[in-house]
Structure 1
Amino acid sequence: MKQKIYQIDSFARKVFQGNPAAVCILDYWPSPDQMQGIAEENNLSETAFALAVGDHYTLRWFTPENEVDLCGHATLATAFVLKEYYGYKKKTVVFDSPRSGRLEAHFEKDGKIRLNFPLDPPIGLESLREMNEAIGLVPQRTLRGKTDFMLVYDSEETIRGLEPDFSLLNKINARGIIVTAPGDEVDFVSRFFAPKCGIPEDPVTGSAHTTMVPYWAKELGKTEFVAKQLSKRGGELWCKLDGDRVEIAGYATPYLIGEIDINSPTS
């Protein structure tokens, strides 16, 4: 069976920036093995699969290695695809995630897509020797959310200069490791390492901001932020703390429209 597939650069105003995600808008659910195989074949940090259920869309995300609980940039990409290529007319699209509950994507007049996600506030921990060795520098603070560690450093320059040992990071039992610091020209900056998911460094990680935003809200005494992820591709995000939710906004740019062959469902 033929399946349309789209590749979108999320949190980017032009191609070759931000974080590329693949999107498949489905007529039926392939098997988990098929979805995992497609994600592995795409070899992008995330492939999103969405299926309409009434007025909502059920949404799942796969890295080349496994299915994940939440993905910001692939959710933004899916909303973009629905609006641009599937004629979605409402101002807000509602997604139902089997792992993360209700998620929303709101289309703004300036072209941004604003995501609404549940918070994942981090809890402080003692500094971890294995983590420090893998990252190569002891942080000012060590914290952890549901799936990721978060390490806080003193400056944007420090974040840019980190050179992790990915073989050691791969031994850390977590989806990924966030490193973050105050920014020079934005409120805060970050990088995100996820070798356990087959992604040594993720270009832009929307879901990581569900952990960073509540932390920086306390540290900076504000609820609205401009953030930047300091990967090679780079990405811009506009974030807002809203009770027990967080809004994460950015632009999306289309790169590729294609077609793949997947097996028809078995009876």
Structure 2
Amino acid sequence: MEIPVFTIDAFTNLPFKGNPAAICPLMHELSDDLYQSIASEINLSETAFIIRTNPSDSFSTGSRFRLRWFTPTSEVNLCGHATLASGAALFRHHNNVNPTLVFETRSGDLAVTKKGEGYLMDFPLNPPAPEDPNAFRDIIKVAVGNHPVQDVCLSPSTKKLMIRLADSCDRSVLTSLKVDHAALLSSEKSGRVKGVIVTMKGSPDCQPGYDFYSRYFAPWFGIPEDPVTGSAHTVLGSYWSEKLGKKKMLAYQCSRRGGELELEVRDDGRINIAGQAVSVWQGKITL
């Protein structure tokens, strides 16, 4: 059996930046063990599998597909960059004729629409709730050390803990954080947290005018640091929209690779996440 695979860098217009995802369009479902083995072999933060919902559809003509995401260690409920990359794979490599594609996922229907040079995703919004920092003292210490913290919030639906650095911190504080991923993993074993977002207010007056910055760590899913994380921005978008009094925002994730996301918080409780994508290579998996 041969499975086509594309590696696409999401949330960037440059190769080797943004977040790479492996995309595998499949003619039919595989076993869960095989999905996991392929994702472990590819060893990117996510490998996405696109499955036809209608046997009469092709990847060029169909508008609805199933989509599943796997990290090197487990399946996940929501992934932004691999959804963006899945849309890009079908639009770009299969010349899909539809303006919008809908993916059936563990998080419901997710739509990807062509938008200018990039793609726009319709995602759920996951508002975080304020938390007592003392309840997460150990994990905060590992993540940000002694740097001052302004807010701590938890998104129970995604199990992402958001730590906001104080506005007195320079952006270099965020970019220079060196997080011990083993220590982070051992600092939280209750199951309440499966990912840590560190964020800070941006510099909207300086070009290109980012409203906020972030980094994201998820060793609980075998991802020490994720380069650019769409799912984290379903949490961040809700938080910063309220704090900044803005519906439309431009965000930058300050990983080594880095990536840019355009956000729009909608009145219907969802969020639009837009970005560009670059195809890097394609090949086949032979089994």
* TM-score (ref. length: structure 1): 0.94
In the alignment, which of 123, 126, 136 is matched to residue 132 of structure 2?
Answer: 126
Match of 2:175 in 1: 160
CA distance in 2 between counterparts of 1:149 and 1:132 reads 9
CA distance in 2 between counterparts of 1:181 and 1:106 reads 29
CA distance in 2 between counterparts of 1:207 and 1:232 reads 19
CA distance in 2 between counterparts of 1:31 and 1:47 reads 15
CA contact (8 A) 2:120 2:274 kept: yes
User: Deviation digits for residues 101-153 of structure 1, max 9, x if unmatched?
Assistant: 01010101x21101110111001111111112211245211111122111111
How many residue pairs get aligned? The number is 260
| Coordinate RMSD, CA, aligned | 1.1
CA distance in 1 between counterparts of 2:119 and 2:183 reads 36
CA distance in 1 between counterparts of 2:21 and 2:14 reads 14
What SS class does the counterpart of residue 140 from structure 1 fall into?
Answer: strand
Match of 1:141 in 2: 151
Q: CA deviation at 1:261?
A: 1.7
Q: Flag as ranges the 4+ runs of structure 1 deviating above 6 A.
A: none
Match of 1:15 in 2: 15
In the alignment, which of 260, 263, 267 is matched to residue 285 of structure 2?
Answer: 260
CA distance in 2 between counterparts of 1:232 and 1:251 reads 18
1:225 aligns with 2:232: no
Q: CA deviation at 1:52?
A: 1.6
Q: CA deviation at 1:170?
A: 1.1
What SS class does the counterpart of residue 133 from structure 1 fall into?
Answer: helix
What SS class does the counterpart of residue 25 from structure 1 fall into?
Answer: strand
Q: What pairs up with 1:107-256 in 2 under 5 angstroms? A: 107-108=114-115, 110-127=116-133, 128-135=136-143, 136-137=145-146, 139-145=149-155, 146=157, 147-154=159-166, 155=169, 156-171=171-186, 172=188, 173=191, 174-184=193-203, 185-243=209-267, 244-256=269-281
Match of 1:93 in 2: 101
Gaps of 5+ in 1: 263-267
User: Deviation digits for residues 32-72 of structure 1, max 9, x if unmatched?
Assistant: 11000000000100000011214411110000010000000
Match of 1:28 in 2: 28
User: Deviation digits for residues 175-234 of structure 1, max 9, x if unmatched?
Assistant: 210011111241000000011111111100011000001100110001000000000000
Match of 1:106 in 2: 113
CA contact (8 A) 2:110 2:121 kept: yes
Q: CA deviation at 1:89?
A: 1.2
Percent identity, aligned pairs only?
41
Letter in 1 for 2:96: Y
Q: CA deviation at 1:158?
A: 2.5
Letter in 2 for 1:247: N
Q: CA deviation at 1:84?
A: 1.1
Match of 1:50 in 2: 50
Match of 1:2 in 2: 2
CA distance in 2 between counterparts of 1:33 and 1:15 reads 31
CA distance in 1 between counterparts of 2:14 and 2:151 reads 35
Match of 1:37 in 2: 37
What SS class does the counterpart of residue 236 from structure 2 fall into?
Answer: helix
Letter in 2 for 1:228: Y
Match of 1:265 in 2: none
1:60 aligns with 2:60: no
* TM-score (ref. length: structure 2): 0.88
Letter in 2 for 1:93: L
Letter in 2 for 1:205: T
